[in-house]
Amino acid sequence: MTTLNKLHHLIDYHLHQNDHRWRQLLSINDTNKYFKVFSQCVEKAALEFGGIESGQAKYKGRGTINIKTQTEEPRARYEPEFDQMITPLSQEASRLLKQHRRLIAIRNNHKSATSASTCPSSEHKKHTYRKQIADNIKLVKHIWKKHDKHNEVIESIDPANLDTIPNYFTITRIAEELLHRCQAMTRQDTKTQNKHSNIKYQTKGAHKIISRALRAKQPAPMSSLARQKDSGEGKPKGSITTNPLEIDEILHEVWDPITHGNCSDPELAATSFTTKYRKHIYKAREFLVNDITVEDFKEQCRIDTDSALGLDGWAASDLQLLSNYGYQILVDMLNAIEHGADWPTAMRVTRAVFLSKDSEDTQNPLAQRILKITSGIYRNGALYE
């Protein structure tokens, strides 16, 4: 038995276990349950074929709407102190780096305040320096840990009394020690992440990573947009946001008036239009389309393509590997839909992706072309027709 035949045998076995349900579900037009059971059968067969225990399958599954809540991932960034790109800092490394910067600011402002002349303009500068020093001292003391080295020196500093601030060289030495601790911690974090990266294909979750690699490539999500209005402090109109939730809000704000239109009752408007222009509209007998056949649908699914994955979880590569009986189950559902049954819920939700029309204006939400990605099964059925 060839490898593909073995997979087909497992798929057919699990599908035949539900032979008593297929006709029954279609007779009551329950395509939701029909599609879910079909998807579960194929996934069970794939897990058995890959030697993977069902408990390790940590995915939402085909046949359901695969929409993930987007969270902004912390990105690597350039750190001048290290002169390199580094991964996001741990909480402790971040604290040490903040303390280093604040101590350097206290040192520099203290030097400027004590060296300024006594003229009126200099007095104003001194007042500004003192305020900045006092603010930074409060922040340093607020997150300073009692067991940290030099705790006594930091605790003795009084924000209201500049004379309690240690000399230039003492503050520099403490700040440099904090920076060296931060650098050492960052190097260790990087080593740990590299180690985890090297062994990710040898863990229980390796099948999930490999599955993603084998699937069709996903369209790149929109990563940034320009704000269309003032959105609070630090978020002026025209500034750039990378927050997925804010990007979604901007897209709705700009595109909803266009997609919703300026008509309060679209159905009434359509009826009025067809009534008014009835004599100009071409009329003919309804064109009858024959039922989809298994061979034609299979041929359409097995066309070599790497089309984008729909939200129902079914990739083009999945459909290419189905058995003949698997195609028959899908064809029966598609024909039932053509005769009046509803589309499964998972196939009625499309994903909108945005293709920039101007490479020089990628942050403008209106300079985008909206593309709707539908279910791969729906697309193959429509292409056949």
What are the tens digits of pLDDT across the range 25-38?
999 999 999 999 99
* One domain, residues 189 and 338: no
Query: DSSP state, 369?
Result: E
* One domain, residues 226 and 371: yes
* One domain, residues 44 and 161: no
Tokens of 101: 């910067």
What mean pLDDT do residues 137-146 have?
Answer: 79
pLDDT at position 68 over 60: no
* One domain, residues 56 and 116: no
Whether residue 201 lies inside any domain: the answer is no
What mean pLDDT do residues 287-301 have?
Answer: 88
* One domain, residues 330 and 225: yes
| Tens digits of residue pLDDT in 111-122 | 888 776 666 667
Whether residue 260 lies inside any domain: the answer is yes
Query: DSSP state, 158?
Result: B
- Give the pLDDT band of residue 71 (cuts 50, 70, 90): very low
d(CA 317, CA 339) in angstroms, rounded, equals 28
Whether residue 214 lies inside any domain: the answer is no
* One domain, residues 240 and 375: yes
- Which of 36-50, 196-210, 289-303 shows the lowest per-residue confidence on average (mean pLDDT)? 196-210
Which residues in 150-285 belong to E strands, given as ranges?
225-226, 240-241
Q: Are 133 and 165 in contact (CB under 8 A)?
A: yes
Whether residue 244 lies inside any domain: the answer is yes
- Give the pLDDT band of residue 148 (cuts 50, 70, 90): confident
pLDDT at position 78 over 70: no
Whether residue 181 lies inside any domain: the answer is yes
Q: Percent of the chain beyond pLDDT 90? A: 19
Q: Pick from 178, 194, 210: which residue ends a domain?
A: 194
DSSP string spanning 271-308? HHHHHHTGGGS---PPPP-PPPPHHHHHHHHTS---PP
What mean pLDDT do residues 281-295 have?
Answer: 88
* One domain, residues 64 and 85: no
* One domain, residues 86 and 62: no
| Tens digits of residue pLDDT in 6-17 | 989 999 999 999
Burial of 116 (0-12, 13-18, 19+ CB in 10 A): middle
Whether residue 210 lies inside any domain: the answer is no
Whether residue 208 lies inside any domain: the answer is no
* One domain, residues 290 and 356: yes
- Which of 28-32, 135-139, 172-176 shows the lowest per-residue confidence on average (mean pLDDT)? 135-139
Domains identified in the chain, total number: 2
* One domain, residues 64 and 120: no
What mean pLDDT do residues 301-316 have?
Answer: 79
Whole-model pTM: value is 0.57
Query: Whose CA is closest to 377, among 329, 314, 317?
Result: 314
- Which of 30-39, 104-113, 121-130, 367-376 shows the lowest per-residue confidence on average (mean pLDDT)? 121-130
* One domain, residues 58 and 101: no
Query: Whose CA is closest to 154, among 135, 138, 131?
Result: 138
Domain that holds residue 316: 3-70+221-384
Whether residue 177 lies inside any domain: the answer is yes
| Tens digits of residue pLDDT in 189-215 | 777 766 665 555 555 555 555 555 555
Q: Residue 119's pLDDT is what?
A: 64
Query: DSSP state, 6?
Result: H
* One domain, residues 64 and 146: no
Q: Pick from 194, 213, 243: which residue ends a domain?
A: 194
